Structure 1
Amino acid sequence: MTDATTDSPDLLALETGQDGMRVSRGRTDPAALPGSVDDAGSPAEQLRLRLREQLSSQLSYRMKADEDAGRPPLGPEERRATAQAILAEAAEAYTQEQLSHGGSIVEPEVEERVIASLLDEVFGLAGLEPLLRNPEIENININGDRVFVRYADGRRDRLPPVVRSDAELIQLIRDLAARSGVEERRFDRGSPAVNFQLPGGERVFAVMAVTARPAVAIRRHRFQRVTLARLREGGTLEAGLESFLAAMVRARKNVLITGGTVMGKTTLLRALAAEIPPWERMVTIEDVFELGLDADSRAHPDAVALQAREANIEGQGAVSQAELVRWALRMSPDRVIVGEVRGPEVIPMCNAMSQGNDGSMGTLHASTSRGAFTKLAAYAVQGPERMSLEDTNLLVASALDFVVHLARPRDDEHKRVVSSVREVVDADGRQVVSNEVFRPGPDRRAVPGVPLRTETMDDLLAAGFDPDLLVRAEGWWLP
């Protein structure tokens, strides 16, 4: 990697690149990077590399053995203790090997320092730690030694590398993936993509072997516990929509949240879930744990989180989101929540919504609220049922009550706002009939559109909605 230095080794100097992006240049010599204890090629560094390799392989092996034996996964403290024992054994074996071959050995205090740094690296977040400690950073993208971040206010910076080589970046992702969630997730040439959640709730996606250099994308949700009121304060929605959406949840309407990438769909889903009474039982289904509704035992004491599982190295044991939705229906849920609909799970999800689990919710990538119906039909075709467009539309119309769409306003491209709300009415052959009860205004913020159906309005009134918020001549959107 290319070193970049400044006059002050402890501070980052900001430069402006040719494209106008702020570029942070800092000290990137080996001693300044995570996991380093000495110069490359020194006895201490050779010991570190050997121990790093041994820890990765043996810790993964022991976790796999526990899984095969049906034992519960180790907790954080147990994993660290196991890792410390592995490192101590590996260090002793390395010292014996060096003595037998006349090689250089390290002093005991240096060996202890190497082991401590590896434990901090593996059970901490290494060079990612300072970035994830910054509450203003929303996205972290790493392409080899190039690190880019995007802040909540839309600013973008280029920062120094978080590791010293592509190999160390791959190893860091392997270690983080190995201790994510409830099981190990592979990251190697046989499985060149990995998707997992960090302990703080950040979502990580990484690829290798299919790119010139390993690439990592980290998406963080700054608000793990959020309410509709907090979103109103942040400008995502207005007082009228806050009342409308809250009543929609309390009236047990089935809701699909749509929007583009990094548009705040998961955050809005969390806010809607905050309106669910605490005595109701929820089951959440996700590709990777991200919602975290089960973590708040006060707001959701009876919540079960299910995560899809990848196949093991023998190609066995995979569990899809579609299968998890079917399992969820056997768990006596009041509501089923699908973190992100991205495939054939759309059919069991719609079945869940139309078979008594009213008030269920999910998210979907779509560019418009109307476009959600086309995406749902495209995903339904991928399922084993191979449903026709007409049958899919009938199922969607019987399952969904509302589609809530998020977009960026024209006056501030760094914000997200509720832009459209559609009430699903019926299906007519190759079309899903819907009314856009809130439509995009001149600035893309939602304004009242087609009136609600009488039956729907009655349900929302019973759930506490004030219809006067929709008929004021002006100012209805103000707090």
Structure 2
Amino acid sequence: MLGRPLHADPSVPLPPARPRLPRPTGSGSATDVQPLGTDQTHQATVDYSVARAIASDVAKKRERLLKESPHLDQASEEQRCLSWIVAAVAEWSHAKAMAPQQDAAMQRAVHDLLFRAGRLQPYLDNPRVEDIIIQGHEEVWLDYGDGQRQMVGPIADTEDELLELLRELARSSGHSERTISTANPTLALSLPDGSRLQAITGLGPKTYAVIRRHRVSHAGLDDLVEMGTIDPVLRDFLRACVRAEKNVMIAGKQKAGKTTLLRAMLREFDPECRFATIQTEDELFCHGNGYHRQVVSLVGRESNGERDVAGRSAGEVTLLDLMHPALRMSLERIVVGEVRGPEVVAMMQALTNGSGGNLCTIHARSQDIVFDRIAELYALTQGNLSEQLAYRQTANGLDFVVYVDMTDETRIGGQRHRYVSHVLELAGIGESGRPATNQIFSPGREFGELRAVPRMDPACIDDLRRVGFDSALLQQGAGAWAAPLQLKVGSLR
């Protein structure tokens, strides 16, 4: 699985493979391969005891091959393994009189065990899956983008096998310093496809894990218009904010689409712009998207579980640790994937002291509490910084807050809607000592629209005009929406 087969010699590393096996007949998707126990009975099922036996046998042959031909190139080595897989499956199929569809499913399952994520791989390949929820080795749920949830078959036969799968995912994702055990009960990492994994073990009756997939990983602002997240007016406004080097914080609920919007705004950077992304797990994919050429991609590192002489977690590199050296890298902009701790102070200092055009995200249940969330994070710093300082630096450093909301009507037969609801302009400190704001965009509730529509010109409208923004667009009171958001509850239909 993902570079090392089950029950094979762990001292012999296997490189990730480029899949070349034939796909199962039917829809032609890798998701046709379904583990035993799914309710998709029309799909081919796989006996994983057979798949593991074949994978183990191929791994042993590969080990002998490497000893005999140590200089064999990876492509030839991989192709030899694939030929052994096909031959072994054909022998098994002939003995059992299996159908061609079952042959293809078994080939893909063995390939996944050897080179990819094992029994988890079909779910990672499914473009409809948004979350993979693992409740111990026997209980796995899939959350789809439309809000449906489905229980599927197990991805391991025992808790130990599940833990080994999680450890292998960490090793094969380039996070050799990360593992999961009773001594290190949590694991957070990005998988090769960009999915985000969080796992917990030893703190309850089971091992729990959630894999959050980025179904919309390369969308631009135009794509978000097609998806109904923003309209063309707001698209042009956000594009102008980026080009005019305004500091923007994207706030919103969990799973509302903050990172998707951040990635879309990053596509508005000039390809030659030199900037840093600072993240706990890489979810922005800027350094390898083929568009940006000057990206300093920095990812924090977890502790190895030990303590140094000062009592600090040994080996740990926090986002705050990354902020200070990043500021010395001759950067034009800084992007923080998610501000969630003391790094908010360094971020705000960068906003007030450096050049503009910086972006970040933050969790907040509503647009009204964004500044309180920032103040809470200031209080978590070692110096327990004051609320007044948090408000002052926020007002001085930020230009705009863009709030992403979500309305979920899946429980009543509707859909899950993600959209920008507000754009707030920072306007200094108000009478209460909190940052004052102007609502540049807000919901058009008076005509049944929850999504953002224009309300007024920002104070920096001339800066936006200078980069090509047509300020007349802000006079469209209903924006460019063809009709209000179609809801089952609260719609004017």
Mean CA deviation greater in 423-432 or 391-400: 423-432
**Which deviations, in whole Å up to 9, do the C-alpha atoms of 1:381-401 show, x marking residues without a partner?**
111232111111111111111
Q: Does 1:349 align with 2:341?
A: no
Asked if structure 2 preserves the Cα contact closer than 8 Å seen for 1:240 and 1:477, the reply is no
Q: Secondary structure at the match of 1:458?
A: helix
What count of residue pairs does the alignment treat as equivalent? Answer: 397
Aligned equivalent of 1:109: none
**Which deviations, in whole Å up to 9, do the C-alpha atoms of 1:16-67 show, x marking residues without a partner?**
xxxxxx96579999933696228xxxxx99x999x9xxx9xxxxxxxxxxxx
Asked if structure 1 preserves the Cα contact closer than 8 Å seen for 2:34 and 2:122, the reply is no
Could you tell me which amino acid in structure 1 is paired with residue 165 of structure 2?
Answer: L
Aligned equivalent of 1:458: 462
Q: State how far apart, in whole Å, the 2-side matches of 1:244 and 1:232 are.
A: 13
Q: Does 1:138 align with 2:130?
A: yes
Q: State how far apart, in whole Å, the 1-side matches of 2:164 and 2:303 are.
A: 21
Given the superposition, is the C-alpha separation of residues 187 and 326 from structure 1 closer, same or farther in structure 2, using an over 3 Å criterion?
same
Could you tell me which amino acid in structure 2 is paired with residue 462 of structure 1?
Answer: R
Given the superposition, is the C-alpha separation of residues 209 and 282 from structure 1 closer, same or farther in structure 2, using an over 3 Å criterion?
same
Of 450, 453, 464, which aligns to 1:447? Answer: 453
In the TM superposition, residue 473 of structure 1 has moved relative to its aligned partner by: 4.9
Matches within 5 A, 1:35-46: 36-37=52-53
Q: State how far apart, in whole Å, the 2-side matches of 1:257 and 1:340 are.
A: 9
Q: Does 1:469 align with 2:473?
A: yes
Aligned equivalent of 1:126: 118
RMSD between aligned alpha carbons?
3.3
Q: State how far apart, in whole Å, the 2-side matches of 1:381 and 1:77 are.
A: 52
Of 378, 381, 404, which aligns to 2:379? Answer: 381
Aligned equivalent of 1:229: 222
In the TM superposition, residue 166 of structure 1 has moved relative to its aligned partner by: 1.6
Matches within 5 A, 1:279-298: 279-297=272-290
Aligned equivalent of 1:417: 419
Q: Secondary structure at the match of 1:330?
A: coil
Asked if structure 2 preserves the Cα contact closer than 8 Å seen for 1:420 and 1:436, the reply is yes
Q: Does 1:408 align with 2:424?
A: no
Q: Secondary structure at the match of 1:405?
A: strand
Given the superposition, is the C-alpha separation of residues 472 and 189 from structure 1 closer, same or farther in structure 2, using an over 3 Å criterion?
same
Q: Which ranges of structure 1 fall in alignment gaps of 5 or more residues?
A: 1-9, 16-21, 39-43, 56-75, 85-115
Q: State how far apart, in whole Å, the 2-side matches of 1:408 and 1:184 are.
A: 36
Q: State how far apart, in whole Å, the 2-side matches of 1:268 and 1:441 are.
A: 21
Matches within 5 A, 1:73-88: none
Of 267, 270, 275, which aligns to 2:268? Answer: 275
Aligned equivalent of 2:23: none
Q: State how far apart, in whole Å, the 2-side matches of 1:277 and 1:29 are.
A: 48
Asked if structure 2 preserves the Cα contact closer than 8 Å seen for 1:122 and 1:175, the reply is no
In the TM superposition, residue 475 of structure 1 has moved relative to its aligned partner by: 5.6
Asked if structure 1 preserves the Cα contact closer than 8 Å seen for 2:424 and 2:437, the reply is yes
Q: Secondary structure at the match of 1:252?
A: coil
Q: Which ranges of structure 2 fall in alignment gaps of 5 or more residues?
A: 1-31, 64-72, 82-107, 308-313, 484-493
Given the superposition, is the C-alpha separation of residues 35 and 465 from structure 1 closer, same or farther in structure 2, using an over 3 Å criterion?
same
Of 394, 397, 401, which aligns to 1:396? Answer: 394
Aligned equivalent of 1:18: none
**Which deviations, in whole Å up to 9, do the C-alpha atoms of 1:175-211 show, x marking residues without a partner?**
1112223533121111111001111111111111112
Aligned equivalent of 1:431: 434
Q: Does 1:301 align with 2:261?
A: no
Q: State how far apart, in whole Å, the 2-side matches of 1:374 and 1:207 are.
A: 29
Mean CA deviation greater in 467-476 or 189-198: 467-476
Q: Percent identity, aligned pairs only?
A: 35
Q: State how far apart, in whole Å, the 2-side matches of 1:327 and 1:415 are.
A: 39
Q: TM-score, normalised by structure 1?
A: 0.76
Q: Secondary structure at the match of 2:422?
A: strand
